[in-house]
Structure 1
Amino acid sequence: MKKALRFLGLFMAAGVVAAFTVTNTAAGYKPGDVAADFSLKNVDGKMVSLKDMKDAKGYIVIFTCNHCPYAQAYEDRIIDLDKKYKKQGYPVVAINPNNPEKQKDDSYPKMQERAKEKKFTFPYLLDEGQKVYPQYGATKTPHVYVLEKTPKGNVVRYIGAIDDNYEDKKAVKKKYVEAAVDALLRNREVAVKETKAIGCSIKA
């Protein structure tokens, strides 16, 4: 019995540590890469691509989901990002990368319910077949990619976390995504190009 409890404790501890780490994979984008466009189904049933947003100067692409407590903790901040930057040319585009067969709470109908409940102001897309998130190299929910629209394509300017404190919005000291977008809006180089994404592992 003691051995079983000890094993359970180690397993839970490992899960906590995993939530705060990012697995480096060979695949996926790095800052400076050109990101491919996609066509994914929104919660309103329409297909959405980045190219559809003609007036955008860039995009805040966020891989997120319904069930993850980290994703839930950031939902209001994601809404705030869209409200602040969409009118300046950097809309939020949220993508659920999880396999609904592995996580029922991330099914398309549940996505529709969540978007309505939280009054999402941005597209909430399903990565059906899980083809897009591996291209980007996303490993967590949430995991952010700030893209700048350029003549050569959508260039990745920032990858990682939204800010430095998922637990308490008021305790945030570094707003990574805001700093990146603000720099791009001023035609300046993004100072911090990559941070560790903190969240739940994507359910493949």
Structure 2
Amino acid sequence: MKKITTLFSLALVALLALNAQAQESMLGKEMKDLPKMKDANNKGKKASFADFKDAKGFVLVFTCNHCPFSVAYEDRLIALDKKFKSKGYPVIAVNPNDPAQYPSDGYKAMVSRAKNKGFTFPYLLDPTSNVARAYKASRTPHVYILQKQGQKYKIVYVGAIDDSARDESKISEKYVETAIANLLKGKKPSKNYTRAIGCSIKMRNQ
């Protein structure tokens, strides 16, 4: 039994390492605009990066309704959007989860959540989970900061929002806030990768 437990632990560590490598490999990649997706925070109108004409980049976050980590970060995402949207880095939230696995992640529930929390940013439905797959996202929340470069968007940060997923009062490093502050000064993020903490994304079947 002990041997089986040890093998399982080693396999889990290897899997986590592979996931980390996949996500870190996204740094520096140039992405196309998002496909137009239904915005639960704007009466179902479809939206993408192109709707933000004056944006210098984006804080793209894969999130959902049911995950306690996502819920814990909602107020912090609102604060980030309010602080940086006017400076050119708005938040865009995307829900890639399969509602067949978690009904509370369905579109109608997204509409209710956006309204009840007072989201200040788009909350988009990824109906195939293919946007999450394209970014190799694995957690909710999982953040990607993108810098606009012509018609493409370069990934300059991947990972967590800060270093205290459960308790906002214990934050010592605000990864996303610091990265955007660097970008606004014309510098590269001083830290461009951290490990995202959260629930696994419940991908839809392809």
So what's the TM-score if we normalise by structure 2? 0.86
- AA paired with 2:38? K
2:132 counterpart of 1:136: no
CA RMSD of aligned residues (A): 2.1
| Of 39, 43, 59, the match for 1:42 | 39
Q: Which residue number in structure 2 is paired with residue 31 of structure 1?
A: 27
**Amino acid of the structure 2 residue aligned with 1:166:** A
Which residue number in structure 2 is paired with residue 104 of structure 1?
103
1:87 partnered with 2:83:
no
Gaps of 5+ in 1: 4-9
Equivalent residues in 2 for 1:120-199 (5 A)? 120-151=119-150, 153-199=152-198
The answer as to whether partners of 2:95 and 2:126 remain within 8 angstroms in 1 is: yes
Mapped partners of 2:33, 2:87: distance in 1 = 21
Question: 1:21-63: CA deviations, max 9, x gaps?
Answer: 5724658961111022121110121110101110101000000
Is the CA contact (8 Å cut-off) linking 1:163 and 1:176 kept in structure 2? yes
> What residue ranges of structure 2 are gaps of 5+ in the alignment?
none
In the alignment, is the contact (CA less than 8 A) between 2:55 and 2:89 conserved in 1? yes
CA distance in 2, matches of 1:190, 1:124: 26
Superposed CA offset, 1:117-149 (max 9, x none): 000000000000111000001000000000001
- Aligned counterparts of 1:138 and 1:88: Cα–Cα separation in 2: 26
Paired residues in the alignment total: 189
Separation (CA, whole Å) in 2 of partners of 1:144 and 1:34: 16
Local SS of the residue matching 1:189: coil
Q: Percent identity among equivalent residues?
A: 46
Secondary structure of 1:135's counterpart equals helix
Relative to the length of structure 1, the TM-score reads: 0.87
Q: Which runs of 4+ in 1 moved over 2 A?
A: 21-29
Task: Give the secondary-structure state (helix, strand or coil) at the position aligned to 1:67.
Answer: coil
State the secondary structure of the residue aligned to 2:153. Answer: strand
Deviations 1:72-124 (A, max 9, x none): 01010001000000011100000001011111010000000000100000000
